[in-house]
Structure 1
Amino acid sequence: MSSSIHTPQLIDQFGRRVDYVRLSITDRCDFRCVYCMGEDMTFLSRDEVLSLEECARLVRVFVNLGVSKVRITGGEPLVRKNALSLFEDIGRLPGLQELTMTTNGSQLEHHAQALRKAGLDRINVSVDSLNPERFRQITRVGDLNKVLRGIEAAKQAGFTNIKLNTVLMHGFNDDEAVPLVAFAIDRGLDIAFIEEMPLGEVDHQRSATYISNQATLKQLQARFPLVSSTETTGGPARYWRVAHTNTRIGFISPHSHNFCESCNRVRVTCKGELYLCLGQENKVDLMPLLREFPHDDTPVKEAIFSAMHIKPKGHDFDLRRAAPAVVRFMSHTGG
């Protein structure tokens, strides 16, 4: 593939270097989490979605432009047919320092070993409750035991960087912060608490279910010896270490602590839309360029470079708004 652009870095209009891409490979999911999507979803048809070959091509383009970390997301990425082939294509890509995945864990039991062999470095697993009945209520259809078996399979496959992702909500799981951290400590896992984000119309009022990470941290400090840390995994989380354990607790706080000043990432949807910010509508459509120029990456690279000039300063989430910050669901943009 030809190229007329030679530069190791993507720099946005505010001087921030973009070296992290989150790529969704499907909008489909086998769960229907209440904070993520509606109960009755209409998903994209096959021809509206990037092929796995196009996904791999985009990853290669971004890595050639200086991106060192790629996270594969969905929907649920492992429900995509032949998803493993993508990991095999990009897992050992020169210049890619870290390949990670966010998953609901439902398919991990069967794929963990192959994913590790393909070159996946880290896994984030969404777990919002340790109560099977409550877990099903939040996910609408999920089987907690299946997810827990998936986490164990990932450990057995040799993954040493496994992190739980948890969204706490008043009236759903607001009493589970301490049990979830204890669970993580017992199994040598990390855990991140993520404030609920106003993306898409859901069946509850987010201002009523919102729990700040400041409140969660205060609760955890009363139960665990926490030590502030300057560690980072390349994303927006602020970390604390649990003393005398291998567990880190991260807090991703788009409301109570705006982390936009150091934003180093962009997102690509399964439709090939390059979103410059999770909470804004600024985007560039890459799919037409991929298909019009199947053997020339130059137009795609030029579009990505141009997009850096429209990357906004921040997402400006505000729970006081009656409507969501953006209409699209999290599953559309990529989790």
Structure 2
Amino acid sequence: MERLMRLTDNFKRRFTYLRLSITDQCNFRCNYCLPDGYCSEGKPDFLTLAEIEALVKAFAQCGTRKIRLTGGEPSLRKDLADIIAICKNTPGIETVALTTNGYKLSKEIDSYIDAGLDNLNLSADSLRPETFHLITGQDKLREVLNGIDLAISKGIKTVKLNAVLLRQYNWQELNQFFSYVKDRPVTIRFIELMQTGDNHDFFEAQHVRGTELQTQLLEQGWIPKLRDAHAGPALEYAHSDFVGNIGLIMPYSKDFCNSCNRLRVSSSGKLHLCLFADDNLDLRPHLLNESTDAVAQRLHHLVQHKLAGHQLEQGISGSTKHLAMLGG
């Protein structure tokens, strides 16, 4: 079994982190993702609890140690707490994280914690209510920020706030974001806007290079932190005058893909070797019809098809029409 404990591709990258989408539905209308709102292409047919359990067991056998549950908006599934528990109770899985827009968090957080949730990421692309509403189509900033404070008070290990950098919306709010982490143990992660199949014009108008912000951070005395072994792609920075941290996710930066340690599975059971790959690989027919060993061996075979990197610099975003498809 030792061979199965190391899910490694042809470029010697080891994959210990799974981003599992459990729905592609979302109730927000973010202008960089779903400006026209969610539109189903057919009757939803998401992975069942039994299929999720089989999938997670196979990934765990291959050495996966961290699972992040994403959407769309994962809290739209009424069985989210059950899914968290399945992941957390799978031998080998050390960390279960959740990315959510936070609109149900105050009502459901206790059930998530009881199920075993370790880490929490919420999204607030602006700390100004009017701009938040303009970006998301929802007047829910207060609920999101209340959810962060609630998560901290209840002892969630790691709480992060995601913000997509948008030149005409939040680029002028950096000082407000910095002030937010002055006395809060929160990491704000600024995510460089990525071009997808349906946002070319928006991308051209709003894209900010993450390196612009990185330069500012270094000039202001922010210091790079060491990355955890199973961490995502963010570069995190700390400052002696701040309780919280600042993170940067810069997919257009040089060698961004060299340290890739994560794979993605869609809500319908398709393995995406890259967020911006052309192809996806259907695992669903095998989950309940094959042994855990067989599915694990299949994963080892499929990961050898992973390419060295994406082609975003060439304007090629693969089959990703919008980020809600796979939760980013």
Q: Scaled by the length of structure 2, what TM-score is found?
A: 0.92
Match of 2:183 in 1: 186
Deviation at 1:172, TM superposition (A): 1.5
After TM superposition, the structure 1 = structure 2 runs for residues 97-176 of structure 1, keeping only pairs within 5 Å, are 97-176=94-173
Q: Determine the C-alpha separation between the residues in 1 that align with 2:85 and 2:320.
A: 34
Q: Determine the C-alpha separation between the residues in 2 that align with 1:315 and 1:209.
A: 21
Deviations 1:205-250 (A, max 9, x none): 312211111212333455x531222233611111211214332211
CA contact (8 A) 2:28 2:37 kept: no
Q: Determine the C-alpha separation between the residues in 1 that align with 2:140 and 2:218.
A: 31
Match of 1:316 in 2: 311
Alignment-mate amino acid for residue 243 of structure 1: S
Q: Determine the C-alpha separation between the residues in 2 that align with 1:203 and 1:17.
A: 32
* 1:27 equivalenced with 2:20 (yes/no): no
Deviations 1:144-196 (A, max 9, x none): 11111211221222113101111111111111122112112332211111100
**What SS does the corresponding residue of 1:186 show, helix, strand or coil?**
coil
Q: Determine the C-alpha separation between the residues in 2 that align with 1:262 and 1:256.
A: 12
Deviations 1:9-32 (A, max 9, x none): 111111111111100000011111
Q: Determine the C-alpha separation between the residues in 1 that align with 2:242 and 2:38.
A: 41
Q: Determine the C-alpha separation between the residues in 2 that align with 1:149 and 1:168.
A: 22
* 1:231 equivalenced with 2:227 (yes/no): yes
Return the match for 1:66 from 59, 63, 67. 63
Q: Scaled by the length of structure 1, what TM-score is found?
A: 0.90
* 1:307 equivalenced with 2:302 (yes/no): yes
Deviation at 1:46, TM superposition (A): 5.3
**What SS does the corresponding residue of 2:183 show, helix, strand or coil?**
helix
Cα distance change, pair 33–113 in 1 and its aligned pair in 2 (3 A): same
Q: Determine the C-alpha separation between the residues in 2 that align with 1:10 and 1:311.
A: 12
Deviation at 1:5, TM superposition (A): 9.1
Alignment-mate amino acid for residue 311 of structure 1: K
Match of 1:48 in 2: 45
Q: Determine the C-alpha separation between the residues in 2 that align with 1:47 and 1:33.
A: 21
Q: Determine the C-alpha separation between the residues in 2 that align with 1:258 and 1:195.
A: 15
Q: In terms of mean alpha carbon deviation, does 46-55 or 247-256 score higher?
A: 46-55
Q: Determine the C-alpha separation between the residues in 2 that align with 1:94 and 1:298.
A: 14
4+ long deviations beyond 6 Å: none
CA contact (8 A) 1:102 1:123 kept: yes
Deviation at 1:317, TM superposition (A): 0.9
Identity %, equivalent residues: 34
CA contact (8 A) 2:25 2:38 kept: no
CA contact (8 A) 2:27 2:37 kept: no
Q: Determine the C-alpha separation between the residues in 1 that align with 2:49 and 2:321.
A: 23
CA contact (8 A) 1:5 1:301 kept: no
Match of 1:330 in 2: 323
**What SS does the corresponding residue of 2:156 show, helix, strand or coil?**
coil
CA contact (8 A) 1:196 1:206 kept: yes
Return the match for 1:297 from 272, 292, 295. 292
CA contact (8 A) 2:266 2:326 kept: yes
Quote the RMSD (CA, aligned, Å).
2.1
Alignment-mate amino acid for residue 176 of structure 1: E
Return the match for 1:274 from 271, 274, 287. 271
**What SS does the corresponding residue of 1:96 show, helix, strand or coil?**
coil
CA contact (8 A) 2:271 2:283 kept: yes
Q: Determine the C-alpha separation between the residues in 2 that align with 1:311 and 1:147.
A: 36
Deviation at 1:141, TM superposition (A): 2.3
Q: In terms of mean alpha carbon deviation, does 52-61 or 35-44 score higher?
A: 35-44
Q: Determine the C-alpha separation between the residues in 1 that align with 2:301 and 2:86.
A: 27
**What SS does the corresponding residue of 1:11 show, helix, strand or coil?**
coil
Q: In terms of mean alpha carbon deviation, does 212-221 or 171-180 score higher?
A: 212-221
Alignment-mate amino acid for residue 190 of structure 1: T
Cα distance change, pair 309–221 in 1 and its aligned pair in 2 (3 A): closer
